[in-house]
A and B are shown apart, each in its own frame.
Chain A
Amino acid sequence: MTQTTMRVFKLIFKNTLRHKLRTFLTIMGIAVAIMAFGLLRTFVSAWYAGVTQAAPDRLITRSKISITFTLPLAQKEKIARIPGVEAVTFGTWFGGYYKDPKDFFAQIAFEGPESFTLYPEFIVDTAGLRAFGSERNAAIVGQATMERFGWKVGDAVQLTGMIYPGQWDFVIRGVYTGATDATDISQFLFRWDYIDQRMQQEMPARAGQVGWWVIKIDDPAKAAQISNAVDREFDNSADETLTETEAAFQQSFVAMAGTIIFSLEVISILVIGIILLVAANTMAMTARERISEYAVLKTLGFNGGHILGLVAGESLLIAMLGGGLGLLLMFPLLQGVGAALRAWFPAFPIDPMTYPLAVVSAFAVGILAALFPAWRAIRVSIVDGLRRVG
């Protein structure tokens, strides 16, 4: 680096501090925009977390009519006989709440402890699994929900059922953790036969019904073939099915929120666009105020390249300071938001691309915001520039 370049850097740095409040506000604006950009991208990632975490060797079979329609337990044996199927279990959406209906968390009825073998990403201790197998009202709860409500193993928990009406008493016998950060550790899992027993007594028409089948297959490459075979098995029956990979199943939920996700993606780009205009406005004001100084520099022999360097350098410095601050604050912000929204977004993973994209965005804002002011500063003649003195 030449001494001249260092002097220019020094001049850029000093220029940046000339209007401290304006510079501070612009830096803060860029920082907030970068944080918003990261937050919106993480929301989108969180929406897709279920899809990205889906196991390739798991199929989900649901009612062809709708996920809200149940399927008869009797289908299990037929599915298990289909070539390529290694194991079959099921899940049923309970749809209850603990104390306050607003405190949402997923409650799912599992077939039994063997269901966990199909979900290796749920890590449960053996004692918990053993108790789950021996006690009909045992529950295994994700660590996030345990922490959220301050529950401990051995606690009795009463849920109010909405799909399965009434009060339901459970005893927490185990806690499951996730194999990765993106694993959903918010679910409340309990045994299906606990609700089925009461259904047999109180609502016999709803007994023996499950929500969906979870099928482990021997080869992910045969997913389409096995899915077809399962659905063919129940064609023209009273309970026709729709089988798809777990990723496709999750994707169908994401697709329901497609407009929202698309909006978030658009807004994340708009945020960068807005801050570009703010930064460009700052640089335009700055360059306009300094037209006479640029004219003096040109009089002394500095050329357009030097002027471009001064304007773009200052713009870049402000943008990168804002971007850096935004990145620094983004991490704790996302941690905080992730913790606050754990019930709705059990996994709130920060997309690794968010950081480089934020840096590139800040850099692009710095360059683009300087282009027009620099072009104007270069283009103004020395004579016109000097006229603005005094």
Chain B
Amino acid sequence: MAAPVVEVTSVSKTYYRDKMPIPVLSNLSLVVPEGDFVALMGPSGSGKTTLLNMIAGIDRPDSGKVTVAGTDLGALGESDLAKWRARHVGFIFQFYNLLPVLTAFENVELPLLLTGLSKKDRREHVASALELVGLKERMDHYPRQLSGGQEQRVAIARAIVTDPTILVADEPTGDLDKQSATEILDLLTQLNRDDHKTIVMVTHDPRAAEHAHVQRHLDKGELD
């Protein structure tokens, strides 16, 4: 078995709505080996997105420990955590979250602006990423000029352009039609298979989950 990239150990998380505690995760543990493709499934409110956010370093548990790529995320301050995310995590959102005023090229280039790469190197990286998702010829298009599926592919290019350790995807096909969803899932499968990207994907679509190696179900904050 490959070495673990993600180790979630006994994490708990409670949100508060109007001072009323709402437990989301309860003493949950999860290990994701390097190169794995894991689908986290479960009904709304089961805590799957919260778990994904913790793995991506954008949320913190109340208790327990999250180690990703050998780093204990709880030990990092906000600034170091931001740097860590830039280096290790590629995030794919349900609603793509491209900046509407930037072209596809500029959106994909965004994470590279934090790396200190030269303009020429950045251009090469962006071109490669867009080529990989099949949108090199549309690099000068703005998000409004792209279909939903194309926007999501640009978002995937943005997620992989820095060659992160792990890709996390939150309902990546949730806003797409069936054909576009299939294309996106094929692309993720290809990234996992050919580029050995570790992927953790949240979905409530069983057909999407079938693309993953492992399916884990959350219910009421606990993994099956």
- B58 engages A389 (CB within 8 Å): no
**Contacting residues, chain A, for B119 (C-beta < 8 A):** 3
- B101 engages A292 (CB within 8 Å): no
Q: Which residue on B lies nearest to A293, using beta carbons? A: B99
B37 contacts the other chain (CB 8 A):
no
Cα distance A14–B114 when bound, in Å?
Answer: 20
**Contacting residues, chain B, for A278 (C-beta < 8 A):** none
Question: How many A-B residue pairs lie within 8 Å, measured between CB atoms?
Answer: 69
**Contacting residues, chain B, for A382 (C-beta < 8 A):** 53, 58-59
Q: Which residue on B lies nearest to A303, using beta carbons? A: B82
How far does the Cβ of B148 sit from chain A's closest Cβ, in whole Å?
12
Q: Chain B: interface secondary structure?
A: helix
- A298 engages B82 (CB within 8 Å): yes
**Contacting residues, chain B, for A11 (C-beta < 8 A):** 99, 101-102
Q: Mark B78-111, 1 if CB is under 8 A from A, else 0.
A: 1100110111010101110101111000100111
A7 contacts the other chain (CB 8 A):
yes
Query: Which of B82, B86, B99 has the largest number of chain A CB atoms within 10 A?
Result: B82
Q: Mark B123-160, 1 if CB is under 8 A from A, else 0.
A: 00000000000000000000000000000000000100
- A301 engages B114 (CB within 8 Å): yes
Cα distance A298–B109 when bound, in Å?
Answer: 15
- A301 engages B85 (CB within 8 Å): yes
- B93 engages A389 (CB within 8 Å): yes
- A386 engages B93 (CB within 8 Å): yes
- B86 engages A301 (CB within 8 Å): yes
Q: Mark A92-103, 1 if CB is under 8 A from B, else 0.
A: 000000000000
**Residues of B in contact, count (CB < 8 Å):** 30
The residue from A17, A293, A301 contacting B97, defined by CB atoms under 8 A apart: A293
A168 contacts the other chain (CB 8 A):
no
Q: Is the interface on chain A under 10, 10 to 19, 20 to 34, or 35 or more residues?
A: 20 to 34
User: Which A296-312 residues have C-beta < 8 A from chain B?
Assistant: 296-304
- B113 engages A299 (CB within 8 Å): no
Q: Chain A: interface secondary structure?
A: helix
Q: Mark B153-196, 1 if CB is under 8 A from A, else 0.
A: 00000100000000000000001000000000000000000000
- B82 engages A14 (CB within 8 Å): no
Cα distance A15–B101 when bound, in Å?
Answer: 7
A383 contacts the other chain (CB 8 A):
yes
Cα distance A357–B203 when bound, in Å?
Answer: 58
**Contacting residues, chain B, for A381 (C-beta < 8 A):** 58-59
B56 contacts the other chain (CB 8 A):
yes
The residue from A4, A18, A302, A383 contacting B59, defined by CB atoms under 8 A apart: A383
**Contacting residues, chain B, for A292 (C-beta < 8 A):** 97
- B82 engages A302 (CB within 8 Å): yes
25 contacts between A and B (CB under 8 A): A4-B113, A7-B113, A8-B113, A11-B101, A11-B102, A15-B101, A293-B97, A296-B97, A296-B99, A299-B58, A299-B85, A299-B89, A299-B91, A300-B85, A300-B86, A300-B91, A300-B158, A301-B85, A303-B78, A382-B53, A382-B58, A386-B97, A389-B94, A389-B95, A389-B97
Which 10 A-B pairs give the minimum distances between C-beta atoms? Answer: A301-B86, A14-B101, A382-B58, A296-B97, A4-B113, A303-B82, A390-B95, A389-B95, A300-B111, A301-B85
> Which residues of A are at the interface with B, using a C-beta cutoff of 8 A?
3-4, 7-8, 11, 14-15, 17-18, 292-293, 296-304, 381-383, 386, 389-390
